[in-house]
């Protein structure tokens, strides 16, 4: 623990604080129940109750407004429970792009007080599906549906740091979210994971600030970060474990919030319905146990969700 605290102190010392106040904590939230069936409004209401009571957070983000009729079902729940939602648009295929736009025009326009923002794309630059200029066109297309709504994208931190997203910054996009997973860089909790997390976010934020001139007109979030509590294949020195996830949350996520950066933790609840996949290293990849809480919304033993 002392090593983790030392590394975190070094990371914090490398750049000035973003703001005098703490950042906002949010959670990525899936559209399906543990068995893979779609959530309804009552399910989202139960999700919101668990998130708020256990973490104090009142904001979540999704990925595709039409998936499982997400916008239709989640927005009434957000209204009844006092939550804000960042809805997603998946631009990678024409069908998904059009379906998500239709969901926004049909439902988001009715719940503008609950829609905090919209993200167009999730790591689509990282996957190479669009250039920055092409993604900017997609964002501008969606902005026409909700002209007064905060709009942007979420992508891997390195796509900001290496200039791939410069067209978005220069094009006036107001919401930029950088995902940063030190787990997928093979870092060990307590021996580099926290420092790497801070350094990645700093690189993304620093480049955005350099290109834009300042962050005054841009809302920046760490769009995703997290640590698996069980299952999956070890990735270098990174291993899954509830105690490790809890330490990363306390040292990394809470530290990032103290730094003044808004953070979305990936994710609120385990999703056991997710199929097995293959990671970038060619090894089997298990994404079923990344939740801060269990699939039944109960707390995980030994996983503290409170920041001091």
At residue 7, the pLDDT reads: 42
Q: Which whole-number Å values give the CA distances from 308 to 57, 135, 278, 299, in the listed order? A: 14, 39, 37, 18
Residue 144: exposed, middle, or buried by beta-carbon count in 10 A (0-12, 13-18, 19+)?
Answer: exposed
At residue 14, the pLDDT reads: 44
At residue 35, the pLDDT reads: 97
Strands (E), 169-211: 175-179
At residue 10, the pLDDT reads: 43
Spans in the chain with pLDDT lower than 70: 1-20, 232-233, 277-285
At residue 283, the pLDDT reads: 60
Helix (H) or strand (E) holding 86: strand 84-89
At residue 226, the pLDDT reads: 97
At residue 286, the pLDDT reads: 79
Positions marked catalytic: 123, 224
Q: pLDDT digits over 59-114, tens only?
A: 999 999 999 999 999 999 999 999 999 999 999 999 999 999 999 999 999 999 99
**The whole model's pTM is what?**
0.93
At residue 3, the pLDDT reads: 41
């Amino acid at each position: 623990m002392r090593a983790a605290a030392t590394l975190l102190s070094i990371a914090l010392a490398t750049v000035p604080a973003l703001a005098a106040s703490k950042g906002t904590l949010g959670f990525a939230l899936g559209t399906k129940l543990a068995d893979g069936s779609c959530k309804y409004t009552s399910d989202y209401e139960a999700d919101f109750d668990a998130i708020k009571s256990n973490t104090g957070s009142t904001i979540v983000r999704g990925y595709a407004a039409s998936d499982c009729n997400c916008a239709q079902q989640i927005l009434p729940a957000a209204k009844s429970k006092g939550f804000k939602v960042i809805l997603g648009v998946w631009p990678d295929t024409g069908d998904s792009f059009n379906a998500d736009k239709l969901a926004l025009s049909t439902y988001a326009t009715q719940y503008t007080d609950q829609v905090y923002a919209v993200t167009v794309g999730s790591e689509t630059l990282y996957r190479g599906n669009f250039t920055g200029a092409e993604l900017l066109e997609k964002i501008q297309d969606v902005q026409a549906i909700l002209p007064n709504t905060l709009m942007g994208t979420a992508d891997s931190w390195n796509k900001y740091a290496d200039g791939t997203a410069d067209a978005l910054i220069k094009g006036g996009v107001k919401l930029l979210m950088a995902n940063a997973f030190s787990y997928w860089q093979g870092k060990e909790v307590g021996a580099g994971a926290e420092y790497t997390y801070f350094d990645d976010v700093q690189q993304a934020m620093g480049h955005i600030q350099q290109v834009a001139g300042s962050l005054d007109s841009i809302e920046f979030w760490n769009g995703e970060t997290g640590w698996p509590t069980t299952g999956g294949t070890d990735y270098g020195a990174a291993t899954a474990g509830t105690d490790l996830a809890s330490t990363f949350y306390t040292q990394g996520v809470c530290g990032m919030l103290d730094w003044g950066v808004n953070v979305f933790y990936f994710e609120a609840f385990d999703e056991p319905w997710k199929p097995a996949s293959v990671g970038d290293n060619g090894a089997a990849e298990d994404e079923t146990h990344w939740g801060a809480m269990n699939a039944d919304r109960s707390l995980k033993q030994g996983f503290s969700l409170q920041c001091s």
